[in-house]
Amino acid sequence: MAGPLSGVRVLDLTGVVSGPFATMFLADQGADVLKIEPIGGDITRRSRATIDKDGEFSALFISNRGKRSLSIDVKSPAGHEVLAKLVAQADVLVQNFRPGTMERLGLGVEELRQRHPRLIYVSISGVGDTGPYVKKRVYDPIIQGLSGFADIQSQPVTNRPQMIRTIVCDKTTAVFTAQAVAAALYAREKTGQGDHIQVAMLDAMISYLWPEGMMQYTVVGAEAAAADPNDRPDLVFKTSDGYITAGTISDSEWQGFCRASGDPELANDARFATPSARSVNATARINKMAEYIGRHTTAEWLERLDAADVPCAPILRRGEIIHNEQVVARGIIAEFDQPKVGRVRQPKPAARFEVNQAAIGGPAPRVGEHSREVLRELGYDDGAIDDMVAARTLRVAM
């Protein structure tokens, strides 16, 4: 059965991660996503280590799964003509060029939306299109630094900020973007009008961080009086043979932990008797939990905590995740054949639809794999296509 976005045409002019990851979600949900690549291909095809002998695919690029690829020089007259025809057919255009680039290409939002009022035009940027940082070149660590994420990860003793070791800003911005596109498509069904969606990575990450990461800055005028919720150890506990995590927010969870510890006196400690006391004395509470947890194995603690209805889990190494019993039972990881690479793994779409099911729509495309197909759909004959290939305006997969 087709996904919920079946019939939606998405023109993907994005590169790197935030844009391609957002359009991957749309492809998973049934949209026809056409990835426009430069003649040399998306930069992430060569990001980090390639995984095929021709250097066309990296593990990172596989997240462009389920898309079609048109490799064309959009700055050339022929490329500009092709793109104009594609825009006329598109429901959604997504771009993450630096501010001003699309205008120089003759693809500015005002011009296109005036010509195509139903078009949903999406602009993803690092810090937005206003302000003193607007011309900054931005990657994920820049936003981690600006948004407070690096501060939240600060080392407890030295207070040295640390980066999160994944491109959290790019990927979270992608989720915000995909949700916004779905909202705009719904609004267009009611009004007949498209929209211009602007998603800045900095805006997205401050919004994402705020609820608990910025608690002490929520009440105006009370900043200095509020405790820093991050000034405490993390919830990584070393057992006698590994690591677990456990949470004791509610009274029942704390009492359950006390029972699991085997020490009746722990439940009588006034510092931890109420949610408020446990919060004020969080460092002492977590350190006390660590003392008990270090005395037994991971398996024994998980059994005790589960029996006491205390939230807990083993802390899995990445190599253990694909074999974890819950991951296997849910069928979270899918396998499929990726041309030129072999068998690959990808997570299935996280949002599961009962009626209009989302699904991985196929492997990631080769550079220009669908160039001929797309141009034929636009009415170009093989002679015209061959001329563009000869002029190096168009690339087709060999």
pLDDT at position 100 is 87
pLDDT at position 92 is 98
Catalytic annotation, residues: 170
pLDDT at position 229 is 58
Give the C-alpha separation, 197 to 139, whole Å: 20
CB atoms within 10 A of CB 304: 19
Interacting residues of 54 by C-beta distance below 8 A, sequence separation 6+: 340
Instruction: Give the domain 237-314 fold.
Output: formyl-coa transferase, domain 3 (3.30.1540)
Give the C-alpha separation, 192 to 322, whole Å: 44
Say how many Å lie between the first and final Cα of the chain, rounded.
32
pLDDT at position 184 is 98
Question: What's the alpha-carbon Rg for the chain, to the nearest Å?
Answer: 25
Tell me the three-class secondary structure of 152-221, residue by residue.
HCCCCCCCCCCCCCCCHHHHHHHHHHHHHHHHHHHHHHHHCCCEEEEEEHHHHHHHHHHHHHCHHHCCCC
User: Nearest Cα to 244, choosing from 285, 303, 288, 328?
Assistant: 303
Question: Which tens digit of pLDDT belongs to each residue from 198-249?
Answer: 999 999 999 999 998 898 899 999 886 655 656 678 899 999 999 999 999 9
pLDDT at position 108 is 95
| Burial grade of 87 (CB within 10 A; 0-12, 13-18, 19 or more) | middle
Phi-psi group of 103: left, alpha or beta (phi > 0 → left; psi -120 to 50 → alpha; rest → beta): alpha
pLDDT at position 227 is 59
The CATH number that domain 9-209+330-395 falls under is: 3.40.50.10540
Mode of pairing for the β-strands spanning 120-125 and 195-200? parallel
CA 384 to mean position of chain CA atoms: 39
Dihedral sign for Cα 305, 309, 310, 312, please.
positive
Where the chain has pLDDT below 50, the residues are none
Tokens of 378: 């636009």
Tokens of 346: 């990808």
Amino acid at 74: V
pLDDT at position 228 is 66
Domain range annotation of the chain: 9-209+330-395, 237-314
What is residue 253's three-state secondary structure? helix
Tokens of 139: 């990657």
pLDDT at position 49 is 83
